[in-house]
Structure 1
């Protein structure tokens, strides 16, 4: 096992305080959005096995079977199939969707064949992989996840009293669910920019007025008003009104599969995803929006956002179940004096302490203590025991 040295990504939407508070370090005054743990080539963690720090992707590439295990290499190739993060949103992230595996492979091959550089601003597919993801809240966490029922979205939009938005509400009530959602999202994303900006401004002002306790959509309106404050005139504010607003309490989670529109608005959480960077955006962003491709990838299915809570196992592990093979996320809430947990999965693991202290011990008796925000990498071939007092998240590969 090895302690990880991780990179903090300073995206503009990041909180200036949440990650420093977790790590117990002074704020820099700059946004700190994501702490990356893993072997993604964009910002691989580093480990030291006695010869100085080495990037984890380099270590894995040198001997993938020893690091990942035969099963993981056979299923996913010679790379760590997941990326683990601490995410700290101080402002809304873009409303976005991710492709499924077939769409990612086809889209990547098409853009490669057309010679579009992978760093081009209008490139949709950075790789040929899908990007299912899960977020577990460490603080109260606001987000958007999946489509509302069209009639509910129509009621929310009508409640704003903005005449320019009334046609969207009419469509949402007049057509079958999938057709209504598709038609309204397409109309919002292709509307004349100046007229849409005026509608967004009027909607934001109304939402701010209506975010009072006596409103049936008080929390929803407050979230949309805040999004509009961060992105004045952005059509994504109206697109976001088609989505379920959800507030997670610490320990609750969301799983986001392919084609599900979503956005993170505010809060601190841990996030795990398949090792991909494929994102199609539909608002709350200055970045490229490919409307035809977006409409092809989005699944126009309404429903409950599906808040997850961990499932307890006999050994004290609490599993966040997800229908995906690339990752498996669980949590241990450690009590002092409790029996040591043996972590022996035959797959690579990353362990992250988010509260208290955790002690890891390998088969040779070597110990490693983790404080909040610190993490460790455990190769597939290594058995590790876990004790301490606090909370530890365990990221590995599904069996």
Structure 2
């Protein structure tokens, strides 16, 4: 087990204060959007070792069986299958969707055959992997996720009283098939006239200041419109459900579900993939035909994910095996929590101060600090704080309370 040195990604939508506030450092005035923890080649964490800082992807490449364990190596190959982040949004991210495994494999193969460079701005598939993800709020968190039902969409759009939306409201209310109704209107909203976008933005701003039944939702959409003036993605965004998470609540996003994070600080975990198809709220490439092939046009209710006890851990259930996310809370004077794993794990402190004890020494972590442990390495956690652990669920025992390990004792 060793501490990590991580990269902050300065995307324009990032907060200038949230991550510095968590880390206890002074803001520098620039947006700080994401703190990456993992072995993603775009910004691999550095593992702090006596001989120097080494990129985690290089550490794994040098000894994949020892670092990943046999089960992960067989299932995912010689790579860490997840990426963990601290995400701090102060403006809406792009409206986007991710492919499933089959779609990613086909898309990647087609673009390779067409000799589209991996770094080309118009490329859709940068790898052959899916990108399921989960976000867990560390404070109040807002986003958009999944379609409203056709009837709910029509009701919201009608409240704007924009004549150009009337045909779409009729289609939503009268089409006999829910999926086809959503597909038809969403497709039209990907290329609306600038005049319609302007009229809708003006109506959204008006309704955000009203006391109507949709005021709270329109306030969120108004935030989207102001962050992306003139962007056609506003109309597509209006078809999506608004989501507000309280601290500790999560949201799982599977393949084909359109979504956009709007504001807040969160832990995010995802399969290690760069495959994103954008629907709007961005200056980046939007491939309408491929997007419509990937989007799922159904409208199930948004399910807020809450953690379930698993020994001393609280696990956020997810229907994928690329990652497993859990929360561990320890208190001063309480028993240590011992984390066992046949897979590698990354631990990040999000509140207070904790101490990690392992066979190779002790790593103290304050808020925002993180550490990496290879497969099979047992870690004892004590102190007074909260941390999140990212690993891979291989079906092996994972955690227990060990009262024989006194807080701040030497590593077992």
The TM-score, its normalising length taken from structure 1, stands at 0.97
2:96 alignment partner, SS class:
strand
Structure 2: distance between partners of 1:67 and 1:213 = 56
Q: 1:254 aligns with which of 247, 251, 256?
A: 251
Tell me the number of residue pairs that the alignment of Structure 1 and Structure 2 aligns. 393
Deviation, 1:334, is 1.5
Contact 1:198 1:233 in 2 (8 A): no
Q: 2:388 aligns with which of 374, 383, 393?
A: 393
Structure 1: 5+ residue runs without aligned partners?
A: none
Equivalent residue number for residue 361 of structure 1:
357
Equivalent residue number for residue 159 of structure 1:
159
Equivalent residue number for residue 204 of structure 1:
201
1:174-221 Cα distance to aligned partner (Å, 9 max, x none): 112100110011111133xxx2x2222222222222224732111210
Equivalent residue number for residue 405 of structure 2:
none
2:118 alignment partner, SS class:
coil
Q: Which runs of structure 2 are paired with 1:40-51 in the superposition (5 Å)? A: 40-51=40-51
1:336 alignment partner, SS class:
coil
Q: Is 1:324 matched with 2:320?
A: yes
1:145-193 Cα distance to aligned partner (Å, 9 max, x none): 11101100100000001111111111111112100110011111133xx
Q: Which runs of structure 2 are paired with 1:33-112 in the superposition (5 Å)? A: 33-112=33-112
Q: Is 1:347 matched with 2:343?
A: yes
Structure 1: distance between partners of 2:210 and 2:304 = 23
Contact 1:324 1:398 in 2 (8 A): no
Equivalent residue number for residue 285 of structure 2:
288
Contact 1:133 1:256 in 2 (8 A): yes
Structure 2: distance between partners of 1:92 and 1:367 = 39
Moved over 3 A (4+): none
1:224-249 Cα distance to aligned partner (Å, 9 max, x none): 11111111111100100110001111
Q: 2:377 aligns with which of 356, 365, 382?
A: 382
Structure 1: distance between partners of 2:195 and 2:135 = 34
Contact 1:160 1:207 in 2 (8 A): yes
1:180 alignment partner, SS class:
helix
Question: Is 316-325 or 201-210 further displaced after alignment?
Answer: 201-210
1:357 alignment partner, SS class:
strand
Q: Which runs of structure 2 are paired with 1:161-180 in the superposition (5 Å)? A: 161-175=161-175, 176-180=177-181
Q: Is 1:224 matched with 2:218?
A: no
Contact 2:330 2:336 in 1 (8 A): no
Contact 2:64 2:73 in 1 (8 A): yes
Structure 2: distance between partners of 1:218 and 1:68 = 49
Structure 2: 5+ residue runs without aligned partners?
A: 395-412
Equivalent residue number for residue 184 of structure 1:
185
Structure 2: distance between partners of 1:8 and 1:149 = 38
